[in-house]
Amino acid sequence: MRDDFPVVNRPRGKSVAPRPMQEIACRRCPNTDAISAAAGRLPPHTAAVRFGQRGWRVIGIGKHVCPACVAAEAARKKAPQSESIAMAPKVTPSPTPAPANENAGHASPAASEAIVILYLLLSDHYDKARKAYAEGWDDERVAKEAGLSPVLVAERREKDFGPLVKDTTLEDIAAATLVLAQEIAGLEGEIDALQRAAASAITTCGRLKVSLNALRKAQARLSAPPVVKAA
């Protein structure tokens, strides 16, 4: 059976050795995300919670949906008329020209300009090698500065620049620490219960020994040869 969150070795740069990561992949786009497996692989439900916290819709093997696609879907549901912007490139052409579309010739000058600004901002502030924005930048800020929707920005960035891979070392350590602390707390509880059970068994055993001794004495008394009755 295929693994839900397979462990892969992710490169971290030229001078640093790759480290084992547990990876999730989007069903709808090439997006992937990963959490550290350096402290051992997480149980599937823990990994699912972690990815869920990052905005993934964790459904099942081969069915996960990334935050960008979740956002795109939400935007599509909220505003069906902007479907052509948000996602599907193969929608049938509508009489109203879709702004900021693939075919810049059809778009309004303002929309084309916004797209140009978008690409300028992305080339300035998105690092393809690191697969990350420069400090202080994200899809939302680019969207705001270009006057476009964050969904559109995410889509263009994914398609023409690259995915967002966050350095999650600190989060990963925090999560591993939490998991370990919980495991220790659980074991301590079990040890405590065992110690109490042992103490109780020792007490019971002592009490039973006293009873046993009393019974043995009674037994000895009763099985002694009968005393000859005085005439």
Q: Return residues touching Zn ion (CB under 5 A).
A: 26, 28-29, 31, 66, 69
CB neighbourhood size of 74 (10 A):
12
Q: Which is nearer to Zn ion, 22 or 31 (CB)?
A: 31
C-alpha torsion sign, points 114, 115, 116, 118: positive
Tell me the closest approach of the beta carbon of residue 14 to Zn ion, in angstroms.
28
For residue 57, the 8-state DSSP code is: B
Is residue 5 within 8 A of residue 22, CB to CB? The reply is: yes
Tell me the closest approach of the beta carbon of residue 168 to Zn ion, in angstroms.
18
Q: Which is nearer to Zn ion, 69 or 175 (CB)?
A: 69
Cα radius of gyration (the chain): 34
Q: Which is nearer to Zn ion, 8 or 39 (CB)?
A: 8
Place of tokens 């397979």: 6
Tell me the closest approach of the beta carbon of residue 158 to Zn ion, in angstroms.
8
CA proximity to 65, closest of 24, 27, 31 = 27
Is residue 19 within 8 A of residue 38, CB to CB? The reply is: yes
Tell me the closest approach of the beta carbon of residue 25 to Zn ion, in angstroms.
9
Tell me the closest approach of the beta carbon of residue 62 to Zn ion, in angstroms.
13
DSSP-H helix ranges across 89-168: 109-125, 139-146, 150-156
Helix (H, G, I), strand (E, B) or coil at 203: helix
